[in-house]
Structure 1
Amino acid sequence: MKMRNNSFKTPTRQSKIGIVANFLFFMQKFVRAFIPVIILFIVKDSSRIPLPWVVIGSGILFLLVAIWSYLAYRNFFFYIDEKTDSFIIMKGVLAKSKTIVPLENIQQVTLNQKFIHKLVQVYAVEIDSAGSTEKEVEIPSVSHDIALELKSLLLSYNKTEVNNHILIDANTTEQNDLVQKLSIWTLIKLGLTTSYLQTLGLILAFFITFFEQYSNIFLKDYSDEEVFDMYRTSDVESLVILYVLVVLISLVLMVNVVRVIMKFFNYSISVQNNTFLVNYGLLSTHNVILRPRRIQLLKVTQNFFQAKMDLFHLKINQVISGESKGKNVGLEIPGYSKAEKNAFFNLVFEHETEKSLFELAPNYRFWAFRFFIFAIIPATVGVLIYMNHYDWKIVSAFCMAYILLMGLIQYRIFKVRKLIVYKDLICLRSGFWDVTETWLEPNKIQKLSVSQLFWQKKYDIGTLTLHTAGGNVSFQTTSYSELTQLSDLWLYEIESANKGWM
């Protein structure tokens, strides 16, 4: 492939067809923002405004959005400044802006193709950089060839090799070591074994909203007491509960399967020139290049059902900064078998996981404190609130059952939690149903702190926090003296090692 625009050394515009994409995205944002007003107008007020005025207003809106889309295209430029070794984006219609990203800070370039992009055959290029105050820098609309060329150049840029860089085409499989390609059956298994509570919460929120609307329309003539008596005196109480449970479980599983298939459809990850190439997505297509040395944290998650199916869910955290802090960011790699997971570990950490040197478990006070916070306090508050409204035997039985359940949950969390130390790796295991192992290399640690509350000194317990560019990792309520020894060991390794953090 020939280089274009002199390796993007001069200001370059997006693809002209991107004007259409900009128009469609602006219209989509407008409709989303005003959809409640539009619905209200259609239902109640549409007859009050003459149809010609509606047509004229819609025409003016379309014209304004079209003009804005064209001006956004005309004022958007991107290029590489060789004098400062930086990538520059200039944009803005009324308010102009100039974003400068040092090339050495660029850690990931992603090609995204949403449904609107697919309609006009363009791609969005998203650039993640270390130290940026924004989550990402985006070029909304470029052709496929330009997107691939720009992505390869940004990730392999070198002042002495700018005109001879290697072009990495994520759609090319020649000379690639294929790591994984997900089948539909694997995606179905993933959907059946993940995100139960999250999906259940969304479904319940929808049904509660629907029930409130239904009640306002069909039960507005009845009081709450009358509605409750109608249900209590009916003969279908147990059947209703059974049907609700069956419907909820079925909906959760169905929604999960559809969500996973849409998100990870045609997922493939391969290795080329010591670089991971990732492609996935149905309606929105993602194309990612990832350098192993830029990985800060590697999280491996598995639950009971996934263990029976030999499935692991991996998530990669790179540099997190600015608005990305505290958000759920990272590249997901679903559906790995144990053998594939081990092979991926060898590629990322460049050696096999050896036998652990030792393990640290939390002190029993970790369980006692969480049991008090999540079981005793809520149960006590519940007794104080409901004791005067319901039979004390029912309230007591319910609170005892809650305390027992929360005690078992916290005990499970306590038993799972471990800090496992290897020769060149650190692993923190945590979780209840989904057990997650967070892996990192000591050279990725940017700051290390061992803290101790005043009441913990007597019992020699404390908290370890490892600060990395990909997020913080903490291990609470364990031996303070052992944590101090570990911190001294890791600080020595960081100072004596030649490896960088990125």
Structure 2
Amino acid sequence: MEFDFKTPQRQSVTGIVIMFADTFQGLIRALWAPILVVLFRMKSENYLLIALGFLALVVLTLVIGYLKYRNFTFFLDEEKQEFVLSKGIINKSKINIQLSKIQQVNINQSIIQKIIGVYSLDIDTAGSDKKEISIRAIDQSLALILKERLLDYGDKGEAVSEEKSEIISNSSSNAKPFIKVSYTTLFKVGITSNYGRTIALLITFAITLYQSFKDAISTFEIDETTVDSAFEKSAGYFSVGILVAGLLFLVLLINIIRTFIKHFDFEMIKQKQSLAIISGLFAKKNTLLNPDKVQITSYSQNYFQKKLKILDMNMKQASSNEAKEEQKKSNVIEVPGCNSYERDEILKLILGKIPEKGTPIQPNFRYLISRIFSAAVFLGIIFTVLNFSEVENITFYIPLIFVYLGLVSSVIYFGFKNNRLYSNENFVILKHGAWDVEHEIIEPYKIQAITTRQYFWHKGADVGHLTLHTAAGDVHFKFGDFTKIKQLVNYWLYQVETSKQNWM
């Protein structure tokens, strides 16, 4: 058997199940409100009619799923160096993607796909605000061969033999992992990272739950005074210490669970000049990372991670400015729980060598003034809101002011202490962060634009701001020596203009 991508091919036959599941899920999401209304208002003697209607919906979805499967084809156009995909039932569409513009190819597997034994292959292109192509049901061997051909089109259309496909299909299992994250390391990552993100998630959930609770009180006409008194009485049984301990435990538990789900069985394997990254508990993700397409390489470490001798790494690839936040995150390859040796080896592979920091530029003391002013304004807004809310015992919140001032002062001080811009012939490195201290590394030839800004009240002090624009996002440095910044900008622009290297 040969995999000849020159002729149009369909997905796996079992893909009909995936097409059915996707279509049925979409219909339920679109029609859930009228379905609920019908179920509640329909009399019991008409339940048979409801069952028949549901059966008709299932049959219709199966037909749609089958037609989607039949009309979905893909192939490689060798002459034009394009990947071509056709799909659609009534409104048929044809997508052509230049192979040179393919940014990333991921092979993923959801729970349903795992049950029926297929994978999805997702293709992203640089500068696009959406996922261009998603092949939802494809055999693993075919997916691996196609991924290799799309990212490294070296065979110029030569059909891949069964023997060769077997070699490539088993490459991940036979190759020794360059990095393999143990369960112990995942546990360490879970208890030392993402505190802010998890707390924000809990606050959002608590606000949503509170609003739903208030709506339920209004709907069922429950006396709010009785509910409030009961809540205050029950809250009195818990001290602040217990609440803080409970919140801390919940944050750590959520972090550990999220880390294990996302990075379970994390492996990084060297394949030629690329890195194959495999991870995931319920949804398996297989990504091939091309070092040339990495725009920003970064690593971060906080106090606890430093004591445990671990750090987190991120490789950011190109994404569109119009892309949604979730889509931009999909272009970020995260490596959790590295040690210093693994970090250096990854940096060598991505950047060619371990970057030296060079001459530092530190922010002016006006950085502190700006942050202190912002913190004071925020505190004033909070107390203004409390005052207009007619809170009876506002003095109860005064101790919280000292807690706030202590936390904010620490964040501002360490944020200022860790904020540095380093530059040399080969690299631009921005160090920043109060708790998670991050180093962002950019090669000058990958800079796409530079913005400098100086307010008129900063001219006397020669202070200004700098923004480096890349295809993976922006990097900022504020309140620096503006004369030095302008000198660096001229040097970087010279490097961009004279470099013969492509940015991806």
TM-score normalised per structure 2:
0.89
Q: Is the 8 A contact 2:126 2:319 kept in 1?
A: yes
Pair 1:102-2:98 in alignment: yes
TM-fit CA distance, 1:135: 3.3
Q: Is the 8 A contact 2:217 2:223 kept in 1?
A: no
Pair 1:411-2:413 in alignment: yes
Q: Of 8, 13, 25, which residue of structure 1 is paired with 2:22?
A: 25
Pair 1:99–1:160, CA change in 2 (3 A): closer
Q: Residue type of the partner of 1:298?
A: T
Q: Is the 8 A contact 2:82 2:96 kept in 1?
A: yes
TM-fit CA distance, 1:410: 2.1
Pair 1:352–1:195, CA change in 2 (3 A): closer
The residue number in structure 2 matching 1:351 is 353
Q: Of 41, 62, 70, which residue of structure 1 is paired with 2:58?
A: 62
Q: Is the 8 A contact 1:170 1:278 kept in 2?
A: no
SS at match of 1:420: strand
Q: Residue type of the partner of 2:195?
A: Y
Pair 1:378-2:374 in alignment: no
Q: Residue type of the partner of 2:103?
A: Q
The residue number in structure 2 matching 1:199 is 198
CA RMSD of aligned residues (A): 2.9
TM-fit CA distance, 1:255: 1.9
TM-fit CA distance, 1:19: 0.6
Pair 1:193–1:41, CA change in 2 (3 A): farther
TM-fit CA distance, 1:41: 6.7
SS at match of 1:458: coil
Q: Is the 8 A contact 2:128 2:323 kept in 1?
A: no
Distance 2:45 2:352 in 1: 69
Q: Residue type of the partner of 2:317?
A: Q
Deviations 1:238-289 (A, max 9, x none): 6354443333222222222111111111110011211101111111011111
Distance 2:160 2:3 in 1: 13
Pair 1:176–1:349, CA change in 2 (3 A): farther
Deviations 1:427-466 (A, max 9, x none): 1112222222111111111222322222222221112221
The residue number in structure 2 matching 1:335 is 337
SS at match of 2:253: helix
SS at match of 1:13: coil
Q: Residue type of the partner of 2:362?
A: A
The residue number in structure 2 matching 1:368 is 369
Distance 2:45 2:205 in 1: 33
Deviations 1:83-104 (A, max 9, x none): 3211111111232222111111
Q: Residue type of the partner of 1:113?
A: Q
Q: Residue type of the partner of 2:74?
A: F
Pair 1:270–1:22, CA change in 2 (3 A): same
Distance 2:114 2:323 in 1: 27
Deviations 1:128-168 (A, max 9, x none): 11233423421111111111111111111147564579868
Q: Is the 8 A contact 1:177 1:272 kept in 2?
A: no
Q: What 5-or-longer segments of structure 1 have no aligned partner?
A: none
TM-fit CA distance, 1:192: 1.3
Distance 2:468 2:152 in 1: 30
Q: Residue type of the partner of 2:361?
A: L
Compare 436-445 and 398-407 and name the one that shifted more.
398-407
Compare 54-63 and 90-99 and name the one that shifted more.
90-99
TM-fit CA distance, 1:316: 1.1
Pairing of 1:195-234 with structure 2 (within 5 A) = 195-210=194-209, 216=216, 221-224=222-225, 227-229=227-229, 234=233
Q: Is the 8 A contact 2:15 2:138 kept in 1?
A: yes
The residue number in structure 2 matching 1:131 is 127
> How many residues align structurally?
494
Pair 1:236–1:480, CA change in 2 (3 A): closer
Deviations 1:165-222 (A, max 9, x none): 9868375258846321111111111111122232233334444544565674699654
Distance 2:311 2:42 in 1: 53
The residue number in structure 1 matching 2:491 is 489
The residue number in structure 2 matching 1:282 is 281
Q: Residue type of the partner of 2:105?
A: V
TM-fit CA distance, 1:47: 5.3
Pair 1:495–1:67, CA change in 2 (3 A): same
The residue number in structure 1 matching 2:13 is 16
SS at match of 1:53: helix
TM-fit CA distance, 1:402: 3.4
Pairing of 1:146-295 with structure 2 (within 5 A) = 146-158=142-154, 160=156, 162-163=158-159, 169=168, 171-173=170-172, 176=175, 178-210=177-209, 216=216, 221-224=222-225, 227-229=227-229, 234=233, 237=236, 239=238, 241-295=240-294
The residue number in structure 2 matching 1:80 is 76
Pair 1:309-2:311 in alignment: no
Distance 1:76 1:291 in 2: 28
The residue number in structure 2 matching 1:318 is 317
Q: Is the 8 A contact 1:195 1:256 kept in 2?
A: yes
TM-fit CA distance, 1:372: 1.2
Pair 1:257–1:38, CA change in 2 (3 A): farther
Distance 1:333 1:276 in 2: 12
TM-fit CA distance, 1:27: 2.4
Q: Is the 8 A contact 1:77 1:90 kept in 2?
A: yes
Identity %: 31
Distance 1:35 1:198 in 2: 31
Distance 1:399 1:244 in 2: 19
TM-fit CA distance, 1:21: 1.2
Q: Is the 8 A contact 1:170 1:289 kept in 2?
A: no
TM-score normalised per structure 1:
0.89
The residue number in structure 2 matching 1:472 is 474
Q: What 5-or-longer segments of structure 2 have no aligned partner?
A: none
The residue number in structure 2 matching 1:441 is 443
Q: Is the 8 A contact 2:78 2:157 kept in 1?
A: no
